[in-house]
């Protein structure tokens, strides 16, 4: 499948900020099942974008500028994808899987989550893949998609208690429970082609990857209760959202800060952005 993606992030500062530094993780990489045919990033203000790779191998750009009232960051490209049944191959793995058992503040479990994870793990016995599929289903059944009650700083435990959240929250809960069950898991940020024909979205997408012996890393999208497909475009990974956020940084000076995000994901050369998978915005 050929997917055309446009991702626009706009910051407005009133009064203008004295200086701004942002780290962008908006550039996808190529691997088995995903080929980056075209990709570019443009910034509205006069600034230099320094390209680097972070510890996880994500492509990063560092944006820094002086006094500014607004910044628009526009990323666009064409990605060719193939369905690999959720199995990840051909990526640059810089750490052993066991490193992704590490807990973060956003992926800590509460007693209720721990009990669920340990029970499902015990029932699955040595069937790690079965445990992960059942865990994904349980999270999908437990949660209701709702944009209002959570934000980028909401932890897995908080979202699990609320029983509501967005794709980031679903991913954090899955990661936290998988790690409690002894399975390495990590956060993935990217994009998703919705099957309902909606191509305009107000955010990117998030899911998780878990490590299964003899298979490797496998993508699990608990917000849609599916493994990753050719409708998913993988951009960055991390221990949690903070390590894979599309834009993260700081500013000095200024007053009110307003952030708006607009994402467009569609099937190139066809109308409506159709796919065969389930959807989540």
Residue 270 has pLDDT above 90, yes or no: no
Mean model confidence pLDDT for the chain: 93
pLDDT confidence band for 56 (50 / 70 / 90): very high
User: Which pLDDT score is estimated for 274?
Assistant: 34
What's the average model confidence in pLDDT over 178-193? 98
Rounded CA gap, 243 and 224, in Å? 22
User: Which pLDDT score is estimated for 279?
Assistant: 31
| Nearest one of 38, 163, 60 to 154, comparing CA atoms | 163
Kindly list the structural domains of the chain, giving each domain's residue range(s) and its CATH number in brackets, ordered by start.
2-267 (3.10.620.30)
Please, are residues 104 and 157 in contact by the beta-carbon 8 Å criterion? no
User: Which pLDDT score is estimated for 276?
Assistant: 30
- Ramachandran assignment for 59, one of left (phi > 0), alpha (psi -120 to 50 degrees), beta (any other): beta
Which residues, in sequence order, are bridge partners of residue 32?
89
What is the phi/psi pair of residue 46, to 5°? -75, 105
- pTM reported for the whole predicted model: 0.93
User: Which pLDDT score is estimated for 272?
Assistant: 39
User: Which pLDDT score is estimated for 273?
Assistant: 36
Rounded CA gap, 130 and 134, in Å? 6
Q: What is the pLDDT of residues 19-36, one digit of tens each?
A: 999 999 999 999 999 999
């Amino acid at each position: 499948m050929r997917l055309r993606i446009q991702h626009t992030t706009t910051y407005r500062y009133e009064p203008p900020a004295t200086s701004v530094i942002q780290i962008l993780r908006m550039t996808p990489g190529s691997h088995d099942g995903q080929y980056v045919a075209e990709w570019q990033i443009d910034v509205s203000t006069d600034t230099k974008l320094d390209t680097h790779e972070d510890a996880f191998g994500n492509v990063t750009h560092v944006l820094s500028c002086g006094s500014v009232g607004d910044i628009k960051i526009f990323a666009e490209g064409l990605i060719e994808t193939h369905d690999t049944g959720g199995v990840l191959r051909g990526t640059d793995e810089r750490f052993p899987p066991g490193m992704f058992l590490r807990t973060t503040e956003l992926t800590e479990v509460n007693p209720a989550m721990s009990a669920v994870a340990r029970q499902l793990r015990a029932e699955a016995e040595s069937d790690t893949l079965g445990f992960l599929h059942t865990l994904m289903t349980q999270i999908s059944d437990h949660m209701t998609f709702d944009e209002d009650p959570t934000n980028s700083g909401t932890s897995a435990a908080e979202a699990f208690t609320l029983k509501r959240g967005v794709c980031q929250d679903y991913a954090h809960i899955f990661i936290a429970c998988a790690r409690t069950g002894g399975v390495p898991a990590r956060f993935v940020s990217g994009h998703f082609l919705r099957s309902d024909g909606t191509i305009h979205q107000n955010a990117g997408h998030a899911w998780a990857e878990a490590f299964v012996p003899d298979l490797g890393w496998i993508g699990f999208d608990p917000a849609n209760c599916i493994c990753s497909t050719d409708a998913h475009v993988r951009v960055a990974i991390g221990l949690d959202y903070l390590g894979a956020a599309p834009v993260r940084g700081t500013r000095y000076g200024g007053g009110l800060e307003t952030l708006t995000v607009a994402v467009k994901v569609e099937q190139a050369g066809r109308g409506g952005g159709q796919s065969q998978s389930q959807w989540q915005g």
